[in-house]
Amino acid sequence: MTMPASETPLLEIQGLSVEFRARRAAPVQAVQDLSLTARAGECVVVLGESGSGKSVTAKAVMGLLEGNARTTAGSIRLDGADLLADPAAMRAARGRDMAMVFQDSLSALNPVQRVGDQIAEMFRVHQGLSKAEARTRAIELMRQVAIPDPERRARSYPHQISGGMRQRIVIAMAIALKPRLLIADEPTTALDVTVQKGILDLFRVLTEAGAGLVFITHDIGVAAEIADHIVVMYAGSVMETGPAREVLARPHHPYTRALLASVPRIERPGARTPIPGGLPDPADRPAGCLFAPRCPLATADCTATRPELESLEPGRAAACLRITEVQHVLAQ
Amino acid sequence: MSSPSDVLVRGSGLVKHYPTREPGLRGAKGAIKAVDGVDLHLARGECLALVGESGCGKSTLASLLTHLEPPTGGSIEVNGSRWGKDRRTDRQIRRQIQIVLQDPYSALNPRMTIEQILTEPLRIHSDLVPARDHSRRVTELLEMVGLNDSHRHRYPHEFSGGQRQRICIARALAVTPRILVCDEPLSALDVSVQGQILELFRDLRERLGLSYVFISHDLAVVRSIADRVAVMYLGRIVEQGPTEEIYERPRHPYTRALLSSAPVTDPAVRETRERIVLTGEVPSPANPPSGCAFRTRCWLATDECATTVPVLEPVFQGHEAACLLLGDH
């Protein structure tokens, strides 16, 4: 049985802005006016370099922002319920309806508790299962995330197992209560490619089983491997969004285009064109387009006016004042 | 094939074992076999990449090549002189081979200005540039790596990651080396900055005629810069050869698995390529499997693989692989 396309998406972020208070200085805008939609069974990749605001976005959704950070605008809706307006809804949803997988599995786990017990704790605390029942469920879950010999592994401490295994344990904990939304923040960055591959395959299985996935990465290759949709961020703002295949095959925004042209690709040997310059200082961002100082197409207008995200064709949008010229050039 | 005079670096029978002890007072002695029998050479003007998963020994090999650690066995010759022969020789070799490390945040002394950082190697190798010319040399080095001369009085914390890596490269170049050993020089940098540093390596190679040993886990980066690739697994080279040959016609099962795991951006390529998922984990280098070290994860392994250690055998011009089943697949 197939469900009709539901009216309310699983996760809907609208106009989210997050700022960090700074001592004796103006607050730093970490995320500005971000909108994002994630549906069940789909993977949305937030692609960006460090300082682009992608991890802050993830923490804002989970309600895990640091003390000096606050959301200044926007809404985050999970199944229509506004999590920012209702802290109780946020608390209830966290862990049960949505869960997060962090980059560093070693610091995400308790170093002095056996990994099996850490997974079992999810069932004991949230579902009140007995010790034996929780343990059985934990081992089932470990088998589900493809950990070999789970009965033995369950008795290991985090430092005794490899990075790839640990990340699987963290994923097992995240999916323990069958959340509908998974948020993964660079979950494979610390891992070898051979191990990364297995973890990406595991995430794919989870989305195919119906989970919504927001996957944060700086790696275009990883994004291409897993994304259904891509949101490209730069210096706290969304530059471009659209279906993954289209964004990667026909990028519209000059930043996306420059990024794709600069990164070496395994399937396309040869020299690439580096992007000149560096990321803007978060405390001193340009008034106009954030990418203008590095953009080959920038005009005086671009340095004066901050472009808004504008829809180009169904499902695709880009924030660029010169988008018509860019598209014109692309058409040729 | 390169004639002997073209070979700038030659490592023969390199072994590096780190002694370990089992827990307990009378624990048995063992060893982590980080590098376990490696022969390699680097030709003049060449870029040789070392690839492999973490723990395969590529960084240990880098520290052996630059003599930051002495090998347990084997020897390394740089431009005809042997590392570790005597202090004078070592000093001469040190000028010819320098290292650039992964993390430019921890590789620079935070309490030294850029000028001090770049002058230090000139003071140590004092017969290279007369003291009165040090300042001019610093200008030259900064220009070479694309930094502004006005930066010389600043401290490392005032620079971005990419700029810091440029400073590390300038410091390595201060003693006019012929060879740079680069250990994951891009991994700590932002994606859009990695391209710039890669371009700088290319540019320096042309301008200064440098040769590189380039260590990276990023197979896309390696393909874009290396002339030759050596694939390492558990302390040994399992396959080596010209870059395109390795990427287009990998012969060792491990190389095939490694290449098939690298993320691909182009969907058309992704859908048609070989997909191999390795099961199991890299065995401990303290207790490597008998025979072929890769056999515990190899989907082709036979009984013979457990008993016979494969050696590198030529498969094509300059392309070698260490697998007993080369004829079969």
- Judging contacts by C-beta atoms under 8 Å, the chain A residues touching residue B217 are 192-193
Structure confidence at residue B329 (pLDDT) = 56
- What 3-state DSSP class applies to A16? strand
Query: Cβ A165–B281 below 8 Å, yes or no?
Result: yes
pLDDT in tens, A287-296: 999 999 999 9
* CB within 8 Å of B112: residues ≥ 6 apart: B120, B155, B156
Q: How many CB pairs under 8 A join A and B?
A: 125
Here the tokens at position A246 are 């289209």
Angstroms from B128 CA to nearest CA on chain A: 34
DSSP B66: T
The count of structural domains within chain A is 2
| Same domain flag for A79 and A190 | yes
Alpha-carbon separation of residue B244 from A215, A242, B184, B227, B228 (angstroms)? 33, 34, 21, 8, 8
Q: Which of A193, A220, A269 sits opposite B261 (nearest CB)?
A: A193
A217 and A301 housed in the same domain: yes
- pLDDT of the residue at A31: 95
CA A175 to chain centre: 16
Same domain, A172 and A211: no
The pLDDT assigned to A324 comes to: 85
**Which residues, 6+ apart, have CB-to-CB distance to B253 below 8 Å?**
B276, B294, B298, B299, B300, B323, B325, B329
Domain membership of residue A257 (yes or no) is: yes
ipTM: 0.83
Q: Are residues A37 and A154 in the same domain?
A: no
Q: Is residue A6 part of a domain?
A: no
Q: B195's torsion region: left (phi>0), alpha (psi -120 to 50) or beta?
A: alpha
> Is residue A71 domain-shared with residue A130, that is, in the same domain?
no
Average pLDDT of chain A is 90
C-alpha–C-alpha distance, residues A302 and A290, integer Å: 9
Based on the fold, state whether residues A171 and A245 are members of the same structural domain: no
Q: Which of A203, A263, A281, A294 to mutate to test the interface with B (most CBs of B within 10 A)?
A: A263
- Helix, strand, coil percentages (3-state) for chain A, rounded to 5, are 35, 25, 40
Nearest CA in chain A to B221: A264
Which residue range is the domain that position A220 belongs to? 11-97+179-331
> Which of A161, A178, A195 is the endpoint of a domain?
A178
Which member of A201, A249, A263 has the closest CB to residue B191?
A263
With a pLDDT cut of 70, the percent of chain B lying above it is 96
Tell me whether residues B191 and A225 touch, CB distance under 8 A.
no
Instruction: Write out the E strands in chain A.
Output: 11-22, 25-38, 43-47, 69-78, 81-82, 98-101, 181-185, 212-217, 229-234, 237-243, 310-313, 316-318
Does residue A210 sit within a domain? yes
Pairing assessment for the beta strands A181-185 and A98-101 based on DSSP bridges: parallel
Question: Which pLDDT does position B1 carry in this prediction?
Answer: 46
Mean pLDDT of the region A4-23: 84
Low-confidence ranges of chain B (pLDDT < 70): 1-5, 23-25, 27, 328-329
**A15 and A164 together in one domain:** no
B282-to-A116, A160, A164, A253, B234 alpha-carbon distances in Å: 22, 14, 11, 41, 8
Tell whether the model's pLDDT for residue A327 goes beyond 80: no
Write out the two tokens for A189.
């960055």
The pLDDT of residue A194 is: 86
Does the residue A317 lie in any domain? Answer: yes
DSSP for B205-228, please give it. HHHH--EEEEE-S-HHHHHHH-SE
CB contact under 8 A, A193 and B224: no
Is there a contact between A193 and B53 if contact means CB atoms under 8 Å apart?
yes
Q: Which among A178, A203, A231 is the end of a domain?
A: A178
Q: Give the residue-averaged pLDDT of A48-66.
A: 91
Residue A77 lies in a domain: yes
A32 pLDDT band, cuts 50/70/90, is very high
Structure tokens at B294: 């890769």
Residues A153 and A55 both lie in one domain: no
Percent pLDDT > 70 in chain A is 97
Query: What's the pLDDT tens digit per position in A106-127?
Result: 889 999 999 999 999 999 998 9
Does the distance separating the beta carbons of B190 and A279 come in below 8 Å?
yes
Identify which of B193, B202, B264 has the shortest CB distance to residue A267. B264
A212 — pLDDT class (breaks 50, 70, 90): very high
Q: How far is CA B203 from the centre of its chain?
A: 19
Are A289 and A248 found together in one domain? yes
pLDDT of residue A2 exceeding 50: no
Are A35 and A16 a contacting pair, CB within 8 Å?
Answer: yes
Residue with tokens 């007369």: B130
* Minimal-distance CA residue of chain B relative to A148: B280
Q: Residue A193 sits in a domain of what CATH number?
A: 3.40.50.300
Same domain, A36 and A169: no
Q: Is A225 on the interface with B (CB under 8 A)?
A: yes
pLDDT, position B169: 97
CB contact under 8 A, A221 and B224: no
